[in-house]
């Protein structure tokens, strides 16, 4: 499954239309990360952070001649940490570390992921806890501001000792080596790209190579982007669920606030409120409110329990956001320069806390998608659609309607269920058993990006199908909120008719969901949704 970014990235970098993000005045916010990673905002390092960087660098330089070995300063790395490195080889030690660890393979990672990774590594450098020089930190800011994006590959991180290979490819570019993409997306040699941008390549000194590759920045950046996208998608899921309830002649009585309050999960209450807002003043709903005219006692679970499932997903996203917020406030390196000037080894680079929530989010994304697919399928079955044509076809038998659109949904949901298998329960020892337990957090992040894309597409098919079903209820009118969304959809995907090439209509719905225009269309009537 390919990855659909949920917002079109702005290619221009460092423009006046967006304020620069200042690094080092406290933890970065989700909005900061998205602004830099996805929308090309520039960055600057606070003066206070530059002073901290200079102070900790002085501590590292004071250790250079110490007869006592210091990991990453005067020793090798990992299982090779027992080797004492003489002074004249220490610059080579750092260069060799980055070059050897830039060992990624496979497809190229998305621009927004690489920019998020670099921003988060810069944020840790700006804490002054890593011991790098000021010019090294400034080089990362310069690369981001010039829109130069190192080529990073899909495979290479085990999510422990940092996202080593992805971060090494970023560090390699700062050295003026390897391959990058320029601001306009063209592949280029890093040395040429840096020269064209007026950026001096970094000549790494003691500990700097290690400091540039030893963090959870890749998996964390992807977590922040996924949380941002999932929050929009879960609002969209409430909207499409409401459309399905409406189009399938379901009841909104079960979404009443007092019923939801009997089980006081905050996400459930938020989703139910959204459903009530979208369904408000629906003539279709009013047409079957009379209990004597409507013989159904209860709707199917996929309709009735929508707030419970989407609400549980919302609460899971909030938990993941709590973890991500803590990680954004962290300074991850090994060894680390403490506030009182000690240089200490530690295990904070282990990605377990991030890996667990990455896996958890893939699970809930799959379940929300699974429920949406079940609602779509109900529209297509004459035994369950309450009077609609088979498969919503214009002339069933001659036309197939949305039969295969549901197949597409089902294929995606099946893939999402496979992606929901946790990565964090696996561990393959590395570095001659020195690194004998790893998190696989990067793998969890890559799975989650595909799951987010899958959920986008599944909700788009539900939107397209529910809109068609509602149109076929004419002359009954939908709710004002639903009507506004269908009108927006109809700008790019025509209403019910004989069969036509369906893939473009699905893609139009995907873009409507991914861009946020589906939510905006509904909110133009309801006001802000949860």
Q: pLDDT tens, 99-154?
A: 999 999 999 999 999 999 999 999 999 999 999 999 999 999 999 999 999 999 99
Give the residue from 103, 123, 256, 223 showing the smallest Cα distance to 166. Answer: 103
Grade residue 413 by pLDDT with cuts at 50, 70 and 90.
very high
Given the residues 71, 301, 356, 407, the one annotated as active site: 71
Nearest Cα residue to 312 out of 279, 277, 272: 272
The gap from C-alpha 360 to its chain's centroid, in whole angstroms, comes to 13
Q: Are 463 and 240 in contact (CB under 8 A)?
A: yes
Q: Identify the pLDDT of residue 16.
A: 43
454 contacts 419 by C-beta, under 8 angstroms: yes
Give the confidence band of 7 by pLDDT, cuts at 50, 70, 90. Answer: very low
Which percentage of the chain shows pLDDT scores above 90? 78
pLDDT tens for 353-385 read 999 999 999 999 999 999 999 999 999 999 999
Please give the helix or strand (H or E) that residue 48 lies within, else none.
helix 47-62
- Give the percent of the chain with pLDDT over 70: 91
Q: How do residues 32-68 score in pLDDT, each as one tens digit?
A: 999 999 999 999 999 999 999 999 999 988 887 666 7
Averaged pLDDT, 464-480: 98
What's the pLDDT score for residue 15?
A: 43
pTM over 0.85: yes
DSSP annotation string for 127-160: TT-S---HHHHHHHHHHHHHT-EE--EEE---SS
Domains and CATH numbers, the chain: 21-215 (1.10.275.10), 223-526 (1.20.200.10)
pLDDT (average), residues 251-258: 96
Examine the pLDDT at 225 and tell me if it is beyond 50: yes
Model confidence at 93, in pLDDT bands (50, 70, 90)?
A: confident
Q: What average pLDDT does the chain have?
A: 92
Helices (H), 381-427: 403-419
Residue 6 clears pLDDT 60, i.e. is over it: no
pLDDT in tens, 432-452: 666 777 888 999 999 999 999
Tokens of 17: 């239309």
Residue 12: pLDDT band by 50, 70, 90 thresholds? very low
Rg (CA), the chain: 26
Both tokens assigned to 524: 């133009």
Q: Which of 430, 94, 468, 403 is nearest to 246 (CA)?
A: 468
> Are residues 45 and 126 in contact, defined by beta-carbon separation less than 8 angstroms?
yes
pLDDT above 50: residue 175: yes
Q: Both tokens of residue 227?
A: 């949380």
Higher pLDDT, 222 or 66: 222
CB 275 within 8 Å of CB 255: yes
Residue 220 belongs to what H/E stretch?
helix 217-247
* Positions of E strands within 94-205: 105-108, 149-150, 153-155, 179-181, 187-189
Distance CA 44, CA 126 (A): 10
pLDDT attached to residue 101? 93
Handedness of CA 24, 27, 28, 29 (dihedral sign): negative
pLDDT at 79 > cutoff 70: no
pLDDT at 213 (0 to 100): 93
pLDDT of residue 13: 44
Average the pLDDT over 517-527 and give the result: 98
Q: What is the pLDDT of residues 299-320, one digit of tens each?
A: 999 999 999 999 999 999 999 9
User: What is the band of 89 on the pLDDT scale with cuts at 50, 70, 90?
Assistant: confident
Q: 343 phi and psi, to 5 degrees?
A: -115, 110
What number is the average pLDDT over the span 260-274? 98
Bridge partner residues of 52 (DSSP): none
Q: How many CB atoms lie within 10 A of CB 417?
A: 17
64-77 tens-digit pLDDT: 766 677 766 766 66
pLDDT band at 9 (very low <50, low <70, confident <90, very high): very low
Q: What is the pLDDT of residue 168?
A: 96
Distance CA 394, CA 409 (A): 21
pLDDT at 492 over 50: yes
- Return d(Cα 244, Cα 128) in angstroms, integer: 53
Q: Output 17 or 523, whichever has higher pLDDT.
A: 523
Give the three-class secondary structure for 36: helix
Predicted confidence band at 80 (pLDDT cuts at 50, 70, 90)?
low
pLDDT of residue 66: 67
Is 71 marked active-site?
Answer: yes
Residue 479 has pLDDT above 70, yes or no: yes
User: Do residues 447 and 362 touch, judged by C-beta distance below 8 A?
Assistant: yes
> What is the end-to-end Cα distance of the chain in Å, rounded?
29
pLDDT confidence of 477, banded at 50, 70, 90?
very high
pLDDT at 162: 81
């Amino acid at each position: 499954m390919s990855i659909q970014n949920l917002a079109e990235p702005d290619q221009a970098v460092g423009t006046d239309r967006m304020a620069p993000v200042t690094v080092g005045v406290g933890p970065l916010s989700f909005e900061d990360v998205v602004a830099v990673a996805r929308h090309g905002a520039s960055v600057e390092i606070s003066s206070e952070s530059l002073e901290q960087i200079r102070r900790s660098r002085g501590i590292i330089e004071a250790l250079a001649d110490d007869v006592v070995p210091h990991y990453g300063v005067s020793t090798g790395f990992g299982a090779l940490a027992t080797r004492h490195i003489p002074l004249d080889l220490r610059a080579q030690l750092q260069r060799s570390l980055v070059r050897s660890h830039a060992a990624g393979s496979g497809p190229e990672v998305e621009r927004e992921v690489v920019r998020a990774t670099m921003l988060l590594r810069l944020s840790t450098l700006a804490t002054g806890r890593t011991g790098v020089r000021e010019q090294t930190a400034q080089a990362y800011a310069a690369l981001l501001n010039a829109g130069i994006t190192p080529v990073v590959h899909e495979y290479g991180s085990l999510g422990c000792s940092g996202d080593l290979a992805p971060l090494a490819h970023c560090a390699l570019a700062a050295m003026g080596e390897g391959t990058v993409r320029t601001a306009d997306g063209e592949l280029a040699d890093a040395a040429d790209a840096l020269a064209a941008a007026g950026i001096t390549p970094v000549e790494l000194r003691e500990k700097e190579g290690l400091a540039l590759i030893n963090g959870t920045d890749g998996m964390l950046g992807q977590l922040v982007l996924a949380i941002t996208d999932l929050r929009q998608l879960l609002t969209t899921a409430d909207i499409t669920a409401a459309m399905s309830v409406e189009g399938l002649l379901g009841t909104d009585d079960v979404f009443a606030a007092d019923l939801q309050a009997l089980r006081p999960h905050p996400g459930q209450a938020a989703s139910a409120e959204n459903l009530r807002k979208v369904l408000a003043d629906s003539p279709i709903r009013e047409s079957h409110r009379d209990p004597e005219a409507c013989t159904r006692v209860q709707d199917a679970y996929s309709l009735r329990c929508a707030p419970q499932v989407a609400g549980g997903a919302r609460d899971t996203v909030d938990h993941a956001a709590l973890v991500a917020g803590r990680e954004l406030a962290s300074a991850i390196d090994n060894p680390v320069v403490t506030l009182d000037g000690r240089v200490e080894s530690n295990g904070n680079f282990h990605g377990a806390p991030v890996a667990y929530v990455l896996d958890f989010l893939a699970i809930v994304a799959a379940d929300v998608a699974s429920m949406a697919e079940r609602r779509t399928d109900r529209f297509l079955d004459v035994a369950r659609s309450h009077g609609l044509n088979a498969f919503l076809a214009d002339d069933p038998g001659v036309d197939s309607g949305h039969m295969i659109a549901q197949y597409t949904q089902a294929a995606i949901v099946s893939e999402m269920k496979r992606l929901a298998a946790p990565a964090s329960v696996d561990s393959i020892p590395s570095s001659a058993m020195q690194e004998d337990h790893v998190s696989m957090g990067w793998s969890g992040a890559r799975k989650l990006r595909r799951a987010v894309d899958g959920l986008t597409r599944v909700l788009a098919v539900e939107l397209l199908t529910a809109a068609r079903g509602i149109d076929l209820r004419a002359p009954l009118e939908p709710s004002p909120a639903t009507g506004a969304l269908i009108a927006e959809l109809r700008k790019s995907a025509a209403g019910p008719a004989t069969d036509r090439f369906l893939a473009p209509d699905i893609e139009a719905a995907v873009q409507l969901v991914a861009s946020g225009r589906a939510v905006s269309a509904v909110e133009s009537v309801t006001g802000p949704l949860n």
